[in-house]
Each structure stands twice: as structure tokens, then as C-alpha cells.
Structure 1
């Protein structure tokens, strides 16, 4: 058998040659024609020769049942990432490279490695999800270059003292999801570590102290229920702390002047006192969700001048905390016991962008409660027992993009409660039958939703859609309904338009330096519109999306929309409204079935205009200049006036 196998030619004479060592089958690698740099092989050989590659960023040989691999090259080559995850490698020393190949990051997760050993000179090593049970000093050979070590989700029970002495550059250590019972400055590199994750070990107890780790920037001790109360020490450089699910009963009183992120979720904190957070003046992210907080003293959060995210969901609050900081951008109050929302609740939150009061006990919202929230992007008031939502209640957030009104009975609501839809692109009305019915029957509100691209009507008993919906929502990409019993011909054309638009604006892959070796082909995902179905009157399921039908409606390669007598109205709307998104050197052209008839009508229309103009000028010759000026003024704004006036017409043909 020939020892050297076929070469692959890619742009700029880039080539790959793979030599077979352990396997006696020839593996010819071929690049697919779609431009993706994925290579598929039935057998991935033991030796990979990269001599013919001038530059490569990543080498991916994951999921190939490999026991070992040797990577060679006859010239100097540096790999940023070598991915060997999900193979059958028993020892990390079974991964070898020639002296000319350097690997910066090696991924060996999801293999069968049962002891720590290292024969590859790399700075970043991932050994998560293996079978390592202990760390011994004798196994630490050739580890002086390690800066990042991920040992998460193994079975590590203990670590020998001075194990990490030979790693002077180690800064990032992940020991998450193991079975450690104790750690100290003798078992871990306390002087060099900047990031330490010992979460989910469960048996770490309160004898563990973190005072010696004075250089830590990030510390994660989550889900160690025996740690409380946590002894952190001074933490002069600490910037992020995750102490969630550690049975804390109060906020840790630890001076950490640089702390910016604090996570205390899933504990048993009942009260937030004024002054509890004074030791964290630079705090910008605070998560105290899933506690038992019922009382928040006034000004408990008001002193945090840089706080942008506050998460208080899953507590027992009955009112919105007072004196919220003006810097706040995200406020999560979901799953509490709040009964009323009033103007003063958010009066000082001028920068708020996301507000979530979902799943409370809200029965009334005072008018103009959200009036001061001019920058609000997302509002969620779902799952509340409110009986009536008026437009005055939701007045104010003029830049709102996402409105969530799910699982709201609101039986007394007279009209759709939100009308300022200039920026609105997402509405979620799942299981809100009354609000959904109001929306679909309110043509004035629908006609203002030009930007809407997502509408969720799940569980709203919507069996038919307004025939002018494509005209109202020309940018719609996702429409969710459970069942349509009435099939409309216009729905086919609308799905074709959505499918063609998504296909036209799909961005190609730009990464040209990544090589993937695979022994399987991933299944091609279908377009979302291909799964749209309707139920006929006889109960049979009908597939709405039809590729052949779309071929006669839209040809996206030339931006031309061909129509017939049955689809003239909606194809014209698509052409008109989509044209503004096309490149300047292209045009959306609507081609009628009978162009001669259109020309004839235009000529007659022009003659009528000329005749009327002649009569008018003869009668009012003295006002010719004034008429000329008014006509020119109309020409300047004609495009804008025409588009807006379309929203008030009953028939698009009149346009």
C-alpha cells in the first residue's frame, strides 16, 4: 500500500497530507464544495502530517475513537487549539507532537484518563470529565509552562502537598465537580492563582479558609453547603465572588474594595440591612435570588452608585425595594409577592433597560408607573392576576423592543394596552387568549407594528389569521401558533418571502484557518418555515411550505419578485417594503402577468392628468407659480406620504 496518501488543494495552494501508521486503510480527505473547512473520514489515522500546511489555527480531531495520536511537521508550526475531546485516550502522554509543532491549548475532555500526566508542552490544558482520582507531586512532569488547568468533573478526592510547586505560571485552576474534602495553601498554589473554582465539591467544610489566596481575582465556592459561614479574609484584589448555595444566612461582611460581581443565590438570607453592602463600593452585578428575603431596608442598595444589574427573583418581597440606584439597567423581581406597582417604585431608575416583574401577585399598576423609563427595552409583567391593563398603565417606554404579556387573563382589558410600537420587535402573548384576540382584531395597532419580527400566540386558541397580517408585519420571522384550522393561500406566499429573505441575508463563514476531522456528517437543519402545518376542515394535516410554489413567487438572486393574479396584492407589498433593505445598486421589480395592460392603463391615466391640468391652468392661470411650488413640495415628501398612507387603505390595489 502506498505510504503517502492523496493531497488536498485549497485556496492559496494550502494542502494536507495524512500518513497512516496504525491503520492499514487509505484515508483520502476531501474538502466539501460548500466552502466549509470540514473534512470527513471513515478512519482517522494515528499520525497526522501537517508538513504541507503553512499556517493553521485549530486542529479538531474530536469524536473519532482515538487511543493515541502523533502530529508531525517538517517545519515550525504553532496550533492555537488541539481538540481531542470525546475519544478513548487513556493517558495524556499518548498525545505526542514532533519537536517542530507547538500547541498552545490542548482539550482532552470526555476521555478515559485516570491519572494526571503530561508529556506535551502546552500552556492551556483541559482534562475535565475524565476519571482522575488524585493529584500527586510525582506525576507533575513537564508542567512548567501551564497557565490554565481545567480538572473539572473528575473524581479527585485528595491533593498531595506541594503538588503544584512545579507550576510557577499557573493562574487559572478549575476543580469544579470533584469530591475534595479540604484545600489549603499547601495543596494549591496560593501565591500565583488569579482564578479558583472549587464549586460543587459538597464536602468542603468551614475549616477551609481562603485568606492565604491574597492574589485571587475570581473565586467560585458555590454548592459547598458546609462552608458557611465563609471565611474570605481581606480579599484586596477580589473582583468576582460566587457563594451561591452555601447555606449563608446573611451577606458576608468582608471588605473587598474591588469586588464588582457578587452572587449569593440559593441561600437562606432573610434581611438586607442598610450598610450590609458598604464593603463593596464598586459592585456592578448583584444576584441575591432564591433566598427568603422579605425585608429590604431603605437605602440598602442606594449606596451602590455603580450597580447595573440587581437580581432579587425567587424571594418573598411584597413591595419594590426603595431608593434603587440610578445606575441600574437590569432589575429582576420575578417570583415574589408584590401586589402593586406605583410611580415612585421606579422613579429614580432613569437608565433601566430590562424590568421583570413576572409571576408576582400584582393586581393593579398605577397609571404612568413606567413613564420615567424612557430607555426601557424589555418589559415582562406575565403571570400576574391583574384583571385590567389599560394603555395608561404602560405609557412611557417609547423605545420598548420586547413586551411579554404571557398567561394573563386580564378579562376586563378593553383595548390592546400598548400602542407605542415604533421599536417593538417582539411580543409574547402565550396563554393570554383575551389579549391575543384584541390584538388580532385591532387593525390600528397591527398597522403600526412594522418592526415586529416575533409573535408568540401559543395557547391562545388562534385558528385563523387576519388576511392582511403580512402587510402589517412585513419583517416577521417567527410566528408561533398551536393550530391553524383555516388554510389561507396568502400564507404560502408569506412563508416563501420569509424563507427567501432569511436565505439571502445568511452570513457565510469567515474563519478560513480551521480544520476539522470528522468520521460522521452532521444532519443539515431545515428552515423553520419548512415545518409549518395547517389542519384542514376534515382533520388532515397540510404542509404549507412548498418549494416549487416559492420558485414561482420569489427569485432572490436577482431581487425580482414574480407574481400572478392571485398574489398580486401581497407580492406588491413585499416588493415595496423589502426594497428599502436592498443594496443601493439593486431594485425590487414587480413584474405583472400582462405588462401590455399595465402600459395601456398608465397611458390613459397620463392623458387624463394632462387634460385635467390643461383645464385647471386655463381657469387659474394667475396661480400657476403657487401651484408649481406646492407640487414640487409634494414631490419631495411623496415617498414617505405614500408609505404611511398605505396603512389606512382597505385594498392595496388602490396604491
Structure 2
């Protein structure tokens, strides 16, 4: 007798209800062939293969119907979902909780924000969408509707071509830099009366993309950055509340006084790297800026210091222009100036008036590097802390121009044509506070004598020094760092006694000489024992 084994699916066996439901579900799913079981054998798994695909990464409670889709709608999430697959291209977060305070979706590939994604969120304060691929088409008008507390919105580094017109009226900080913005539509910023910071740098704004009403309703605006655009003039209708106006790296040729007339609280005006020429800043164009503290004009085409500057100006930055003359009264209107930078202009000693700096009693930093000076300027302010004269054509140093500079702490004379014999006796005598002296890249054949006693850092690299005697540093007991590289020193060029009294010396650089130079630093000074406490 042959015993037959019962086959699976035998009609005499009861069918599992769950299996029936699964089969019905498969039959009803779209895209499946109507005659299940008629497919080629190759469409079925072979022996030992799983009939289920490997599980995909999906955030808890969310669904992932396709490999590129993550659906977290309506889950009342309290934290941003994790475990999102790298293949995800569509992420749905509609119906985020009303209690949401911060939404950070920066540095992704977001191309579209669904309607009301950030709307109806009364507690929402900050939204970060920078470094994505958002265009104006991907930002619906009602994306923020009903969210009345959003203070910070970052849309920088996207693909916006104009300022979105439906931004939250509660904004205080708006980042739109690094986009493709060429226009601010009329009224786009008319409701943002609380806005304090607006960043529009690195865009494609031209004068036609702005009008007199663009910024006029921003009654709280303090910081406006329009740098790195294509503006040819200062925008009209700027808010009187501005403290910082950044217009650098544009194409501005002329500054109209009326455009800045109402900005009496402006503290920082940045106009560097524009196209301001000889007539670009008419006399008195900036006079009404009574609170101006800092004026940046470097990288333009100015041939003289602007006239009639605000009296309270503290920093005037003018390097890389074409200033060739400094008259007796060119700086008379700025007696409170603390920093003056005229580096890399065309100043020659014969064209710098003896009294050019006479009224600058508050001046602490003077930079005249990169000009054509052959001698030290006269009449330097007694309160100077820093004096930079590198990369000129200095051939001699006399004590008179440095007399009275008792507060000078840093002096740079690098890249000139100085020889030791050209340094007059007593040149360093009154520099009682000098801590840093740079004489590098000159024509010195030995260490200059009688250096200031307070000196801590001495740069002598790139000269012609071939010998350092035992008395070279007797006048500088506080020396901490000495740079002698790229000279003409040999193995035995430095006297063993040269560093004996320099108990604070920690750095001696002798690389790049004719031979390796061995330097033995003096022993450190013993520490005094602390007094025992009571």
C-alpha cells in the first residue's frame, strides 16, 4: 500500500484566514498580473531565497512607500525623525506639532516646501533652510501662514531669484545671501517692521531691482548687507535706524549725499572695492553721518582723502587707492581718529605735509606701508601705539621723527633699504614702550646697537648679518623672540656670550643661513617661592 502525503493547499485542509486576506490584497494591488501563478518560473524565488525584500531604513511611526519617499504626516512629532535613508528625495512633515520651536532642514537637497508646512505654529521661532535647492516656485505663499512668532529665517545658499513676498511679518533676522536674487518685488518687505538684520550679499541685485520703497518700511533695521552685488549707486529710502551698511564689492561710482542724509545713527559704512574715483565722494557727502565710527574705502580709485568727513570718525581705512598727496588740512575734520590706514597708495615724502597729522591727537594706529616714502613722516602723534612703514623706500632713520613717541609699542620697517650706518645715534632712545621691532628684509650687516630696553620681539630676517657679537643684546634684557633666518651666518658667527643675559628668550630662528647655526639658550630664571598663606 502506498501512503500519500497530503499536499499543501489540499482542498480537504482549512485555509488560514490571514493567508486569504494576503492573497486578496495581492490580487487587488495595482500593477500585478491578473492571473497569479501564470508567470514564468524565473519570476518566483528559487529554493533557499527569501520571498520578501530586505527591510528598508524608515523612521519610527513613519511610512516609506517607496525607496525615495519618507511620509511622516500627522504624527505630532516632537523631534526631527531619524533613520532617514540616504536614498530619500521626498520627506513629508505636514502637520508638524503646534508646539514646534525650531525647524532645521539645512544642508539637504530640498526643492519644495509644501503649503502650511511651517504654518499654524504659534511657538515656532527659528527656521533654517539654508544650503538647499529651493527656488521661488518651491516656496508657496502660505508656507508660514499663521506662524506669528518666527524671528529667524535662513534661506541663504539656495536658488531664489527674487525676495519671497510672503515672509513672516514677525521676522527679526532674514538670511538671503548666496542666492540668485536680482529683484526685491515692491512690498515684499513692507510688513517686516521688526526686522533688525537683513543679509542680501552675494546676489545679483542691480539698481533696477530696488526702488525707494524697498527698505523704507523696515523701521527697526540695524544691519543691512548688500555687498557682492551689482549696484551702481547707494540705494534710496534707507531706514534711519541703520547702524551698519555694507555696500562693498559693488560697482558704485558716486555717492549721493541725499541717499545717506538721514542715517545719523550709522556707525559703520563699508564701501570697499567699488569704483569711486576722484569725484566719487564729493566734499561733505558724508558729513551728515554724525555717528559714523568706521569708514572703509579701500580698493577704490580715490586720489585724495575725502574732505569734510564726520568729526566723530574713529577709523578711516583707505589702502589700495591712488592717494598721492596729504595736505595740512586733509585730516583736520577728524580730530578723534584712532586708526588711519593709507597703506599701498602713492604717497611720497615730498607730498606729505609736515603738519598732516598735527590734529590727530587720538591716533593710535597709523599704517603707511606700501607707499613711496624715503624718510619718516614728521609730526607723528605722540599717542601712537602702532606705526607700519614696511615696503617703502626708506634709506635713513633719524631720531627727530620718533622723538616723543613714548607709547609706541610696535614699529614695522621691513622691506626698505636701511643699513646700520643709516640709523642715526639715539634713534631708539625715546621709544621706551617699544615691544615689537621689525627690521627684516633690509640691508643690515649686523644687529643695530642701543635697541629699546622694553623690546620683546626682534625681526632681523632677510638681511646681510654675518656676525652677532657678545654685546649685541645687552640693551634688550626682555627679549623673548629673535628672528635671524636667511642672513649670512656661519656655524661660529654667533658669540657664545650673546644670549647670556636674555633670561626670557624662548625663540631663536636661524634657519636658511649659509650653515646650520647652533644656538644655546640661557637657563630660565628660577621661580621665587610663594609666600605661605596665613
When the two structures are superposed, what TM-score results if normalisation uses the length of structure 2? Answer: 0.70
Quote how far apart the aligned CAs of 1:172 are: 2.0
2:251 is aligned with 1:193: no
Residues 469 and 498 in structure 2, CA contact (< 8 A), matched pair in contact too: no
- Choose which of 410, 417, 424 in structure 2 pairs with 1:354: 410
**Contact kept in structure 1, 2:393 and 2:416, CA below 8 Å:** yes
Within 1, Cα distance between the matches of 2:439 and 2:504?
23
Q: CA deviation at 1:325?
A: 0.8
Within 2, Cα distance between the matches of 1:423 and 1:72?
A: 66
- 1:638, 1:165 → 2: CA distance? 67
Query: Does the aligned pair in 1 maintain the 2:467–2:493 contact within 8 Å?
Result: no
Unaligned stretches of 5+ residues in structure 1 = 6-14, 21-25, 29-40, 475-575, 581-636, 640-655
Measured against aligned partners, the alpha-carbon deviations of 1:229-275 in whole angstroms (never above 9, x if no partner) come to: 20314223322222223322222211411111112222222221212
Q: Which residue of 2 aligns with 1:385?
A: 443
Counterpart selection for 2:214 from 137, 156, 163: 163
Paired residue for 2:513?
A: 460
Deviation digits for residues 513-538 of structure 1 (CA, Å, limit 9, x no counterpart): xxxxxxxxxxxxxxxxxxxxxxxxxx
User: Structure 1 458/153 Cα, relative in aligned 2: closer, same or farther at 3 Å?
Assistant: farther
- Of 279, 285, 290, 2:333 maps to 279
**Is this contact kept in 1: 2:436–2:458, CA < 8 A?**
yes
CA distance in 1, matches of 2:292, 2:517: 57
Give the superposition deviation at 1:180. Answer: 1.4
User: Aligned to 2:224, which of 144, 153, 173?
Assistant: 173
What's the counterpart of residue 8 of structure 2?
none
- The 1:438–1:371 alpha-carbon spacing in structure 2 relative to 1, beyond 3 Å, is farther
Question: 1:18 touches 1:47 (CA, 8 Å); kept in 2?
Answer: no
CA shift, 1:279, in A, is 0.6
What is the correspondence of 1:489-504 to structure 2 with a 5 Å cutoff? none
Counterparts of residues 47-126 of structure 1 (less than 5 Å)? 62-67=106-111, 76=123, 78=125, 84-91=129-136, 93=139, 102=149, 104-117=151-164, 119-120=167-168, 121-126=170-175
Distance 1:2 1:237, change over 3 A: closer
- Consecutive unaligned residues in structure 2, runs of 5 or more: 1-57, 63-76
TM-score by length of 1: 0.58
Q: 1:188 & 1:93 partners in 2: Cα distance?
A: 28
CA contact (8 A) 2:375 2:394 kept: yes
What is the match of residue 647 of structure 1?
A: none
5 Å-filtered alignment, 1:294-305, equals 294=348, 295-305=351-361
Return the alpha-carbon distance in structure 2 between the equivalents of residues 379 and 366 of structure 1: 16
Which of 204, 229, 234 lines up with 2:287 in the alignment? Answer: 234
The answer on whether the counterparts of 1:19 and 1:49 sit within 8 Å (CA) in structure 2 is: no
Q: Please say if 1:130 is aligned against 2:175.
A: no
Matched, 1:18 2:65: no
Q: Establish whether residue 402 from structure 1 lines up as the match of residue 457 from structure 2.
A: yes
What's the offset of the Cα at 1:379?
A: 1.3
> Which structure has the highest helix share of the two?
1
Distance in 1 (alpha carbons) for counterparts of 2:157 and 2:508: 40
Deviations, residues 270-298 of structure 1 (Å, cap 9, x unaligned)? 22121221111111111111111112222
- Give the distance between the partners of 2:184 and 2:61, measured in 1 at CA: 42
**Is this contact kept in 1: 2:479–2:502, CA < 8 A?**
no
RMSD: 4.1
Determine the C-alpha separation between the residues in 2 that align with 1:168 and 1:405: 55
Deviation, structure 1 residue 350: 0.9
What's the secondary structure of 1:345's corresponding residue?
A: helix
The aligned runs of 1:423-572 (5 Å cut-off) are 423-434=478-489, 438=493, 442=496, 444-445=498-499, 448-450=502-504, 452=506, 454-460=507-513, 463=516, 472=522
Secondary structure of the equivalent of 1:340? coil
Question: 1 or 2, which has the higher strand percentage?
Answer: 1
Which piece of structure 1 moves more, 331-340 or 374-383? 374-383
Change (3 A) 1:342 1:17: same
Larger Rg: 2
